A = this chain, B = another copy of it.
């Protein structure tokens, strides 16, 4: 791994996370590792005694543990919140993607504005009327189309396409293969074929939006498709034209939002969940994987199934569905009994 060249002493990591070191500060930690790792140059974390016992029994180099943890047979760093401290360690091992100025092979239009502190990678294309803000990194093969605005400190990964009229705020990350600003899917039947409705709107991403690999966000027919501040979208998600997504909503992979859907704030969508078009969803709702939202919904809570119902209802229905064969049998038995009664026979 690229990070194998990097590393920190355990003492340096203890200082980094503001924890208390118990063990050799000289121990060289090459990488953070999962809880089940046997990597003697790795550091992991344990939030409770069970995970700690497991970590101690293996070969892992060191463990981030809660402050109350007694001395164990392995170097530890005691911290208030092991998971959060581990997050700090992870961040310390990030290997930055290549950057630095405008690559000799980048095609930047004379009518584009690229901040002097921004980076444009090999073979990237920045078209007329596009802007790239301070500290942003437009990586190799990225395409920044006409009229697109990349705010400050954004990361545009290799092979991203911003087709046209896509504007984003600060601190956004757009992962490889994402296509933002392609035409919305609009046609009408003209008597002999599907006639295209021109798509001339844009896409607006707020600040600190993250868009996953190969995800598609279509431009609006007119107006804008809008993804608000802090929204996080996973890979292979479809966001159709004129959709609006409220702040801090999170969507797992392969979700599909149909045209003109309006989603509120702080919702969570499980993988492959989907909406019908023109549906409105409120705030603070959690939709399980593959949930199908076919009508407006606005009561906070957990939902599952197609159509989406409260999770507890969905689980009860699912359990009973597998008992349908039994149900039909019991039904038939009763019908036979009633037949007997009808015929005046004893049962």
Contact = CB atoms under 8 A, between A and B. Distances in A.
Contacts of A93: 198, 200, 222
Interface string A194-230: 1111111110000010101110101011110000011
A330 B335 CA distance: 9
B334 A289 contact: no
Contact of A196 (B97, B210, B276, B328): B210
A127 to B, nearest CB: 6
Contacts of A236: 214, 216, 236, 238, 256
A298 interface: no
Given A146-B2, A185-B232, A253-B185, A320 B330 contact: no
Contacts of A164: 2, 95, 97
Interface stretch (A10-18, A20-28, A47-55, A173-181): A173-181
Given A90-B222, A197-B87, A252-B185, A1 B202 contact: yes
Nearest to A307: B318
B163 A145 contact: no
Interface in A143-167: 143, 145-147, 157-159, 161, 163-165
Contact of A200 (B3, B194, B294, B307): B3
Interface string A85-119: 00100110111011000000101000000000000
Contacts of A248: 193-194
Interface stretch (A29-37, A61-69, A72-80): A29-37
Given A173-B183, A252-B258, A254-B254, 18 more contacts: A87-B197, A87-B198, A90-B198, A97-B145, A159-B179, A175-B179, A177-B179, A179-B214, A185-B253, A187-B250, A194-B232, A212-B216, A214-B214, A256-B271, A274-B289, A274-B290, A337-B341, A342-B347
Contacts of A317: 321-322, 324-325
B306 A290 contact: yes
| Copies of the polypeptide in the assembly | 3
A264 B177 CA distance: 29
Contacts of A161: 141, 157-159, 176-177, 213
Contact of A143 (B158, B187, B218, B325): B158
B200 A32 contact: yes
22 contacts: A2-B165, A4-B147, A87-B198, A95-B146, A95-B165, A97-B146, A107-B123, A125-B141, A157-B163, A177-B177, A177-B179, A179-B235, A213-B216, A214-B236, A236-B256, A252-B258, A274-B289, A307-B318, A309-B322, A317-B324, A327-B331, A338-B338
